[in-house]
A and B are shown apart, each in its own frame.
Chain A
Amino acid sequence: DIQMTQSPSSLSASIGDRVTITCRASQSISSYLNWYQQKPGKAPKLLIYAAYSLQSGVPSRFSGSGSGTDFTLTISSLQPEDFATYYCQQSYSTPPTFGQGTKVEIK
């Protein structure tokens, strides 16, 4: 199975900050990398697919980059509604696997 490792596991940031979350795959997954946002008590929501494609309806302050084994999710200017847990997921091979999550908290 492909292991996905996110860093950091949590971070504290202020409104307006630029936030970067990284995700590393245990082997190359080309660009088969997706990012999800999950708020407490809610289902995950797809933000970014295929490493850098923005899902319809997702604000443009979210962006993704990377290929191979190293990927990044960036929030250009953190908004109050962005405080949540973020997960990466590889869709390169079965079983699809998720990172352990990165919790973004208010500073």
Chain B
Amino acid sequence: QVQLVESGGGLVKPGGSLRLSCAASIFTFSDYYMSWIRQAPGKGLEWVSSISSSGTTIYYADSVKGRFTISRDNAKNSLYLQMNSLRAGDTATYYCARGSYTDPFDIWGQGTLVTVSS
């Protein structure tokens, strides 16, 4: 079964950093755009960032531009999100998903919770 598994979430102080990982299995990871989408507690879905299959094309939401960096390692079937200068407003469950801004997000991970609090 096609699967995405996130890890790396946790509690971090404002201004701190965290790196999320997403491991893909079963499908040919290197063929697909991948994205991060977040959901604040009790709120709706917010797209964060997308990266092309080769890693050469990247997009960010304005809310995270300059603070977050998306990357991928196709040899390891893995997607990453480096989050710096974290704010309380970044508190959310972060999902990795297969798809991009022009395609539906057809496969989702289970999510990893990031809490930014002092």
Contact = CB atoms under 8 A, between A and B. Distances in A.
A95 B60 CA distance: 8
Contacts of B44: 87, 98-101
Contacts of B95: 43-44
A6 to B, nearest CB: 9
Given A97-B47, A101-B44, A43 B109 contact: yes
Place the interface of chain B in its size category: 20 to 34
Contacts of B99: 91
Contacts of A46: 104-106
Highest count of chain B CB atoms <10 Å: which of A43, A94, A99, A101: A43
B110 A91 contact: no
Place the interface of chain A in its size category: 20 to 34
Nearest to B61: A95
Contacts of A18: none
A34 B111 CA distance: 20
| Dominant secondary structure at the B interface | loop
Contact of A98 (B46, B100, B102, B109): B46
Interface of B: 44-47, 50, 59, 61-62, 95, 99-106, 108-111
23 contacts: A34-B105, A43-B109, A43-B110, A43-B111, A44-B95, A44-B105, A44-B108, A55-B104, A87-B45, A89-B104, A89-B105, A91-B103, A91-B104, A93-B101, A94-B50, A94-B59, A95-B101, A98-B44, A98-B46, A98-B47, A100-B44, A101-B44, A101-B45
Given A45-B108, A91-B99, A95-B101, 20 more contacts: A32-B102, A36-B45, A43-B108, A44-B105, A44-B108, A46-B106, A49-B104, A49-B106, A89-B104, A89-B105, A94-B50, A94-B101, A94-B102, A95-B59, A95-B62, A96-B100, A96-B101, A97-B47, A98-B45, A101-B44
